Structure 1
């Protein structure tokens, strides 16, 4: 009974921002982005509080860590969203700092190129699918795709230098 009362009280006094509006997101600076590959989701956080979750599309082979250029995988680990690209071929994009030193060493040991240019980006302008349909498939070369509308939102609330964790 005490646990139920505690959880009820915690729910009342803890502010919730899950699926917050853009205006609420802008007021609460995003300080972490977390991608959960197995759930095809990306969440944005402020001081440990989840603000919003997005459905994502990834590469054709989403399981496992990116090992080499062209393997259609999205990397796993902790990186930085280090710059924005407004003239992306896929609407707008935010670059992920892959490969890091560990990724380069692993690729070197395998005798392959680790690849690069992994981004969070918008839709494929040549796709015949609606944005909602496209998000049901893994169609990128290892990037993380959202709809253009969602990309506009992320563009406004994510600053360069924000950390990103990509989980299996």
Structure 2
């Protein structure tokens, strides 16, 4: 994990040198089940034993496939209280996901346009396309903590315990980048 972290930090640092020193961003490593809070190149916190979609993660996520999307997203909404205690929504589907889905004929040009129009207008992308939506970082709510500790169980979200989401929430604001890989 550490070498992957260094490569990602280096790439982000080079691409955004001016704000790299105090820019807060989130890194989700789906292989090690960790969520890291970064401030520029400084590791602020690591949350272990997170849960992702019950069928893993994919660049080609579709509605109902129970996979967590891979890529770079932004937090675009916050819902408190939520069924899952606290919910920090991601801007999925974003342009990268829509472009890939169009190129792979998983969505129509009309669906692609509806996603792009929303993005360009600064709105949450449509959540009911074939790519799905309503994805974010959330707590457990009343979900079974034992199940959370043993399995990936979400429909594509990133789940932490309620205690972890309380600790994490001080960094989660609209506009914060979430890198999922």
Coarse TM-score class (shorter-chain normalised): 0.7 to 0.9
1:40-90 per-residue CA deviation (whole Å, 9 max, x = no partner) reads 111001121111111210111114224210111101111101221102211
Deviation for aligned residue 1:153? 1.4
Is 2:42 aligned against 1:49?
yes
Instruction: Note the C-alpha offset of 1:106.
Output: 3.4
Equivalent pair of 2:87/2:136 in contact (CA under 8 Å):
yes
Tell me how many residue pairs correspond in the alignment.
137
Q: Which structure 2 segments of 5+ residues have no match?
A: 1-21, 108-128
Q: 1:145 to 1:48 in 2, by over 3 A?
A: same
- Contact kept in structure 2, 1:65 and 1:73, CA below 8 Å: no
Q: Please report the RMSD computed on the Cα atoms of aligned residues, expressed in angstroms.
A: 2.1
Deviation at 1:103, TM superposition (A): 1.5
Unpaired runs of 5+ residues, structure 1, are: 1-28
- What TM-score, normalized to structure 1? 0.73
Matched, 1:83 2:77: yes
Q: If the length of structure 2 is used for normalisation, what is the TM-score?
A: 0.69
Give 4+ residue runs of structure 1 displaced > 6 Å after superposition. none
Larger Rg: 1
